[in-house]
Amino acid sequence: MTAVRFQVAAVSAVVALCTAMSSPALAQKKYDSGASDTEIKIGNIMPYSGPASAYAVIGRTEQAYFDKINAEGGINGRKIKFISYDDAYSPPKTVEQARKLVESDGVLLIFGSLGTSTNGAIRKYMNEKQVPQLFVASGASKWNDPKQYPWTMGWQPSYASEARIYAKYIMKEKPDAKIGVLYQNDDFGKDYLKGLHDGLGAKASMIVLEEAYDTSEPAVDEHVVKLKAAGADVLISITTPKFAAQAIKKAAETNWHPMHIISNVSASVGGVLEPAGLEISQGILSATYAKDGSDPQWNGDEGMKRFYLFLAKFAPKANKLDAGVVFGYGAAQTMVKVLQMCGDDLTRENIMKQAASLKDFEPDTLLPGIKINTAPDNFAPIEQLQMMRFKGKSWELFGDVISSELSH
């Protein structure tokens, strides 16, 4: 008996010693709820049903990307568990799902949730709970507000950034322009308009007329005629697809040929330019930040080769023409990058710290030269775009990548 007891004592002494020796290594491993030695739980909320369900492909692509990371061994040996719920694009449901993710599933963070009002509904909750709400899939500029909401960060260029880039382009190419603005009377349109004013700065007087339309109006013809009558020679069309097509048609009908810029939201060839008429759409300008998955010019591109390989292996059913696939891939890649940077310190605080210190990160699906940069006072990861011109049957990129920052 005594011998056995001695053995037990010896074993426990050895165990104690081991623990003591390994403790410096252990001390560096820090976890908040949702992270462990083997797993990282990431929450997500997507409109899998309801009016915005076309965007759900973003969530499915992100799931596939995390499957890929897991198949390759995970992040520092930890597998990602991606828990994605449906909110049907209804803000109260988003609140319920976010609370379920945080309080019931115990996720480490919520990543890439889609929508402006849906994310707006949970922003206060997430910041009160101090759970990261990372890479929100919405173009509103309000996600870049680190002072008031230090736990919320966007990803894509905001509408305001895009508008600032158009302002820069116009001031450079056509310094004596008379700008006519057609904008949608909602948060999307107003965000844009504010960006345009900021971008023009002292030259805001270049704008000769701003015409607002409501989405309930059947057509924007009347507004286009007014803009023409005001003598504008640049038309900025801050419109959603249906209205963008109407504006293109009406301008052509009235034989008005201004420098026509349409928002990235409506830069779809199949959804806007073809219905409006390819011939009258020649020369229209817009801007973009991501590669077009269907454009053959990227076939030789290293990043896109990885993207196509990923699609073939992990998301064979995904439609590469769908911009949501390119988007989801890029966002998920950014998320993985942040988690890699966190190392073994998987606390919520460190995640926000790392997310705010991305330096020149280039996801595979962004245009060459567009780099993700963040800082403690800059929660807008993508702020560059490149201008493009419609020629023949597709968009042609031209000029340099332009930064939307005002000082440059």
Partner 1 sequence: MSAAEEVVAEGHEAVEAVPKRAMTLGTGTSVVVLLLLLAVPLFAKNFIIFQLTQLLYLGLAVLALNILTGGSGQFSLGQSAFYAIGAYVTAVLMEQFNVNYALCLPIAGVVCFGAGFLFGQPALRLSGVYLALATFALATAMPQLLKLNFLEHWTGGVQGLVVTKPDAPFGLPMSQDMWLYYFTLVVTLAIYLFSVNLLRSRSGRAFMAIRDNEIAASAMGVNVALYKTLAFGVSAGITGVAGGLSAIAVQFVAPDSFTITLAIQLFLGMVVGGVGWLPGSIVGAAFIIFVPNLAEGISKGLSGAVFGVLLFLVIYLVPHGARQVAIIGQQLAGKLRKN
Binding characters for partner 1, 141-170, by CB under 8 A (x = yes)? -x----------------------------
- Nearest approach, Cβ of residue 90 and partner 1 (Å): 6
- Nearest approach, Cβ of residue 104 and partner 1 (Å): 5
Tell me whether residue 89 or residue 307 sits nearer to partner 1 (CB atom): 89
What is the number of alpha carbons within 13 Å of residue 353 lying toward its C-beta?
9
395: part of which helix (H) or strand (E)? Answer: strand 394-403
313: part of which helix (H) or strand (E)? Answer: helix 302-314
- Residue 45: both structure tokens together: 């909320």
Interface pick for partner 1 out of 7, 12, 49, 357 (rule CB under 8 A) = 49
Tell me whether residue 47 or residue 303 sits nearer to partner 1 (CB atom): 47
Binding characters for partner 1, 94-123, by CB under 8 A (x = yes)? -xx--xx-xxx-----------xxx-xxxx
- Nearest approach, Cβ of residue 287 and partner 1 (Å): 24
- For position 125 contacting partner 1 by CB under 8 A, the verdict is yes
Tell me whether residue 122 or residue 380 sits nearer to partner 1 (CB atom): 122
Tokens 């449901």 correspond to: 93
CB-based contacts of 57, cutoff 8 Å, min separation 6? 318, 319, 322, 324, 325, 328
Q: Are 386 and 165 in contact (CB under 8 A)?
A: no
Integer Cα distance of 145 and 236 in angstroms: 27
285-288: strand order across its sheet: 207-213, 179-184, 234-238, 259-262, 285-288, 384-391, 394-403
- For position 138 contacting partner 1 by CB under 8 A, the verdict is no
Interface pick for partner 1 out of 29, 124, 257, 313 (rule CB under 8 A) = 124
- For position 76 contacting partner 1 by CB under 8 A, the verdict is no
Q: Are 106 and 33 in contact (CB under 8 A)?
A: yes
Tell me whether residue 95 or residue 280 sits nearer to partner 1 (CB atom): 95
Tokens 């820090």 correspond to: 30
Q: Are 183 and 262 in contact (CB under 8 A)?
A: no
* Binding to partner 1, residues 232-261 (CB under 8 A): none
Interface pick for partner 1 out of 30, 31, 33, 48 (rule CB under 8 A) = 48
Integer Cα distance of 135 and 339 in angstroms: 13
Interface pick for partner 1 out of 55, 65, 89, 151 (rule CB under 8 A) = 89
Tell me whether residue 138 or residue 246 sits nearer to partner 1 (CB atom): 138
- Nearest approach, Cβ of residue 93 and partner 1 (Å): 8
DSSP string for 220-236: -HHHHHHHHHTT-SEEE
* Binding to partner 1, residues 185-224 (CB under 8 A): 185-187, 216
- Nearest approach, Cβ of residue 313 and partner 1 (Å): 20
Question: Cβ of 18: how many Cβ atoms within 10 Å?
Answer: 10
Tell me whether residue 184 or residue 334 sits nearer to partner 1 (CB atom): 184
List of residues contacting partner 1 (CB under 8 A) = 48-51, 84-86, 88-92, 95-96, 99-100, 102-104, 116-118, 120-125, 142, 185-187, 216
